[in-house]
Amino acid sequence: MTTTLIKNGTVVTATDSWRGDIFIDDETITQLGVAIDRQADQVIDASGRLVIPGGIDVHTHMDLPFGGTVSSDDFETGTIAAAHGGTTTIVDFAVQDRGQSMRKAWDTWMGKAEGKAAIDYGFHMIMREFNPELGREMKDMVGEGVTSFKLFMAYPGVFMMDDAGIFAAMQRSGEVGATICMHAENGGVIDVLVKQALERKQTDPKYHAITRPARAEAEATHRAIALAEMANVPVYIVHLTASEALAMVTEARDRGVPAYAETCPQYLFLDYTNYEEPGFSGAKYVMSPPLRAREKQDDLWRGLAGDDLQIVSTDHCPFCIKEKELGLGDFSKIPNGAPGVETRLSLLHDGGVRTGRISLHRWVQICSTAPAKMFGMFPKKGTIAPGSDADIVIWDPEKVLKLSHETLHMRCDYNPYEGRTVVGAPEVVLSRGRVVVDKGTFKGKPGSGRYLRRAPRAI
Ligand code: URP
Ligand code: ZN
Ligand code: ZN
């Protein structure tokens, strides 16, 4: 059994901040103290550094067949990149194919991750349909630790379910103690707008955004919450972008409805004008929902500060330029998604904490503690406390990092923030007590990540 002592750091959790030491027995934090006087196999000096719980990204798509291709990071490259950025847990999405069991989907995704993941991982399950057999399987999945199901109100013919299917799956989810994750965009409306744009020969990437209006997101968000309220199940709106949609979440939360939402760094730091970059460059930012107007970003920041938005995840779903070019001459064929799993903590530290938009504690909360609580991983994950997994980041709050696909580790030949400089980055990253990243060098092992059986929600 290896013992580790982290000394002299400023430990920051969602609630506390103190100077001191952390003792780790093998994989688990066993002691916190102001000056721990014990021998350890490994001593890490954290003087002048913050010591935070490892980041938890509850929205990634590694090795996802989507948009006529497959996302370019697999569980090895994607989790190594995540670790470099200070994320020590991901929750990815397994996909149930039409006519297929969820067991089969879970087995497939377990197979994709096994032997590859360098950090711990769990799965949500994407359901493409609902029927009594799948309803029975939802309980089995909860038993396997898949305690959240993602449904889609968009992508007709691919992922979209109608309201009846959504409502039935929601009812069942409520019965089995699971949370519904919802992709909330009105897919029918968007489909009409896309066809009309293409008929007018409006084929450039920017029409992806123009045909997915904020109101289509707000309408679906409102409908998702109303359906969940009637079905008596908590609903978590994924990748919320529009302040019009946030208003729907806020209204429901003010009435005491268990409605929750995440946003992603791209919606806080990029905007519609990125689609107007020359040539086909706008395709780099094609994701759904799309980037919105910069003027609206303050609403998202206010939502994060005031807890109407609880989490920032990444929706990491990278495609290289060659893949994006499937949509040359037809924006609707551009694979949807962008890289992000590695840059979340630094972007939020630089653009959130350093600008005073959120506190250090709120940063830890939205990037680690709240995701752990929302998705049944707390207190094993998401905090620094005796008994918790030793997923720990020694964070250098002054480190200057230039974001570029050439130096970052995600398997993607562009980065949406190319050339941007951020302040704050990990120095040492531990996953269950083992150093996986040390000053920019990967020290972990593909396959050492462990599957996380998540607990059902407490409410
Ligand atoms: O554009 C996106 N968001 N791609 C990933 C799939 C999804 O809807 O989350
Ligand atoms: Zn989605
Ligand atoms: Zn996604």
pTM (two decimals): 0.98
Ligand 1 binding pocket mutation candidate from 58, 60, 61 (most atoms within 8 A of CB): 61
pLDDT digits (tens, 9 = 90+) for 172-214: 999 999 999 999 999 999 999 999 999 999 999 999 999 999 9
Mean pLDDT of the chain: 98
pLDDT digits (tens, 9 = 90+) for 225-246: 999 999 999 999 999 999 999 9
Nearest CA to ligand 1 atom 5: 337
pLDDT of 256: 98
Report which bound ligand comes closest to the CA of 283: 1
pLDDT digits (tens, 9 = 90+) for 282-305: 999 999 999 999 999 999 999 999
Q: Does pLDDT of 419 surpass 80?
A: yes
Q: What is the rounded distance in angstroms from the CA atom of residue 185 to the CA atom of residue 213?
A: 9
| CA–centroid distance, residue 218 to ligand 1 (Å) | 17
| CA–centroid distance, residue 160 to ligand 3 (Å) | 14
| CA–centroid distance, residue 9 to ligand 2 (Å) | 38
Q: What is the dihedral of CA 291, 294, 295, 301, to 10 degrees?
A: 80
* pLDDT tier for residue 458 given thresholds of 50, 70 and 90: low
pLDDT of 218: 98
| CA–centroid distance, residue 412 to ligand 3 (Å) | 17
What's the gap between Cα 91 and its chain centre? 7
Q: What are the φ/ψ torsions at residue 401 (nearest 5 degrees)?
A: -125, 125
Q: What is the rounded distance in angstroms from the CA atom of residue 162 to the CA atom of residue 386?
A: 46
Q: Does pLDDT of 428 surpass 70?
A: yes
pLDDT of 118: 99
CB atoms near residue 412 (< 10 Å):
26
Helical (H) or strand (E) element with 5: strand 3-12
Nearest CA to ligand 1 atom 9: 315
Q: What is the average pLDDT across 39-57?
A: 98
pLDDT digits (tens, 9 = 90+) for 345-397: 999 999 999 999 999 999 999 999 999 999 999 999 999 999 999 999 999 99
Task: Give ligand 1 pocket residues (Cβ under 6 A).
Answer: 61, 183, 239, 287-288, 315, 317, 336-337
Q: What is the rounded distance in angstroms from the CA atom of residue 188 to the CA atom of residue 343?
A: 33
Q: What is the rounded distance in angstroms from the CA atom of residue 179 to the CA atom of residue 270?
A: 29
pLDDT digits (tens, 9 = 90+) for 112-162: 999 999 999 999 999 999 999 999 999 999 999 999 999 999 999 999 999
pLDDT of 245: 98
Q: What is the rounded distance in angstroms from the CA atom of residue 278 to the CA atom of residue 235?
A: 39
Q: Does pLDDT of 106 surpass 80?
A: yes
Q: What is the average pLDDT across 78-99?
A: 98
Q: Does pLDDT of 459 surpass 60?
A: no
| CA–centroid distance, residue 10 to ligand 1 (Å) | 36
437 forms bridges with which residues in the sheet? 429, 442
Q: Does pLDDT of 457 surpass 90?
A: no
Report which bound ligand comes closest to the CA of 91: 3
